[in-house]
Amino acid sequence: MMKLLKLIVLLTSIGLFTAFTLTSVGTGYKIGDSIEDFSLLNTNDAMVSLGDYENAKGFIIIFTCNTCPYSVANEDRIIALDTKYKTQGFPVIAINPNDPAVVPDDSFEKMKVRVQEKGFTFPYLLDVGQKVYPKFGATKTPEVYIVTQNDLKVQYIGAIDNSSRDATKVTEKYVENAVAALLANKKIEKTKTSAIGCSIKKQ
Amino acid sequence: MKLKSIFLCVIFLGLISCKKEVAKNEKTNIDTSHITVKSYDYNELKPLLEKKDDKTYVINFWATWCAPCVKELPAFEKLNKQYASKNVEVLLVSLDFPKQVEKKLIPFIARKNLQSKVVLLDDINEDVWIKAIDSSWSGAIPATIIYNKDRRNFYEKTFDYQTLESELQTFLKQ
């Protein structure tokens, strides 16, 4: 009986471990990887692909959503990033990775409402069927991937800055520093940072 | 202008719903005056994550706004109760917004009648302490550490009671 129990525990842990590694750790794009372009529905009902942006130098791709308080706390900072860097060739592309069936307030209709309320200056795309975020290996909102346009290579993964909960306490702006380095053809000092976020919701 | 008034309405509605909550608390006689939540920066929290005594510690990182965290809290509460006499201690480290401690966290603790110890981790430079807590942690919550003086494991996942208990058992057998 004990042996059987042990076997069950072992098999379950292997199962869990595999499930865990497949969904979050170990897979997904790493720094230097070339990403696959995507085509996702924007809140203006048009499809958006990175290939549409012929004149861009790169992209600030941000997985975010309506409902995560850490995302909401960063909305103004995301708008500021787009305002500052779109004209310099690095527009923000926001993607909501959550399954609206699990989080109704992250539905496409509610996304449209949020875009109006906040006056988003950037596309806000729904990852319909949740096919895109797993390729990135994103695990939470908000989470940023900076990608250069010519080679679609990942240059930065992580947080917007070093104080997600309180914008007034920011002392290091990771994304701004990374984009500034790319614009100046310099090496990005911090290519990978961590921040607290809401786990991406799936069924 | 229109947006502004919508925004104000939302805030106003928010206030009303908060008021309702307070009223409900009063009705059911939930007293929050005895509840305090101590706020730690990472350097202050760190000693609680690496004690070298005979206890096994279960540290859960959560927040009141995190639905999967709230869902798994009863498992941690049950564990805390069932294993209190077996040298196990549960610590709930909240990552709520510091400004919402009085408004959200404390009423939540009262409403759910949480018995495990709750502290707030309030520290910028998440990048530093997330990596220090575990190099594999993406920063998503819920996340959990189980440790004693001999062993330490980090879990970026949700638990039900059964899985949590069997994981804890592996620490107690040693």
3-state helix, strand, coil in chain B (%, to 5): 50, 20, 30
Instruction: Give pLDDT, residue A27.
Output: 83
| pLDDT per position as a tens digit, B24-59 | 444 455 788 889 999 999 999 999 999 999 999 999
Instruction: Give pLDDT, residue A9.
Output: 54
Instruction: Give pLDDT, residue B33.
Output: 84
Query: What is the layout of strands, in order, in the sheet containing A140-141?
Result: A140-141, A197-199, B140-141
Per the CB < 8 Å rule, is B66 touching A198? Answer: yes
pTM: 0.82
Per the CB < 8 Å rule, is A117 touching B141? Answer: no
Residue A52 DSSP label: G
Strands A92-96, A124-126: parallel, antiparallel or unpaired by DSSP? parallel
Per the CB < 8 Å rule, is B139 touching A163? Answer: no
Task: Provide CB contacts within 8 A for A80, sequence distance 6+.
Answer: none
pLDDT averaged per 10 residues in sequence order, chain A, 203 residues? 58 47 63 98 98 97 97 97 98 98 97 98 98 97 97 98 94 97 98 95 93
Distance CA B16, CA B18 (A): 5
| pLDDT per position as a tens digit, A114-157 | 999 999 999 999 999 999 999 999 999 999 999 999 999 999 99
Per the CB < 8 Å rule, is B140 touching A199? Answer: yes
Q: Is the pLDDT of residue B17 over 70?
A: no
Residue of A nearest to B122 (CA): A165
Per the CB < 8 Å rule, is B139 touching A25? Answer: no
Per the CB < 8 Å rule, is B139 touching A198? Answer: no
A83 in Cβ contact with A50 (< 8 Å)? no
User: Measured between CA atoms, how close is A195 to chain B, in angstroms?
Assistant: 5
User: Measured between CA atoms, how close is B38 to chain A, in angstroms?
Assistant: 18
Q: Which residues of chain B have a CB within 8 Å of the CB of A170?
A: 124
| pLDDT per position as a tens digit, B99-115 | 999 999 999 999 999 99
Residue of A nearest to B127 (CA): A194
For residue A89, the one-letter residue type is G
Quote ipTM for the complex. 0.79
Which tokens belong to A27? 């897979």
| pLDDT per position as a tens digit, B116-131 | 999 999 999 899 999 9
User: Measured between CA atoms, how close is B31 to chain A, in angstroms?
Assistant: 27
Q: What is the mean pLDDT of residues B73-81?
A: 98
Per the CB < 8 Å rule, is B126 touching A139? Answer: no
Q: Which residues of chain B have a CB within 8 Å of the CB of A143?
A: 138
Per the CB < 8 Å rule, is B124 touching A196? Answer: no
Q: Buried b / exposed e across A25-34, counting CB within 10 Å, b at 16+?
A: eeebbeeebe
A-to-B residue pairs, Cβ atoms closer than 8 angstroms = 91
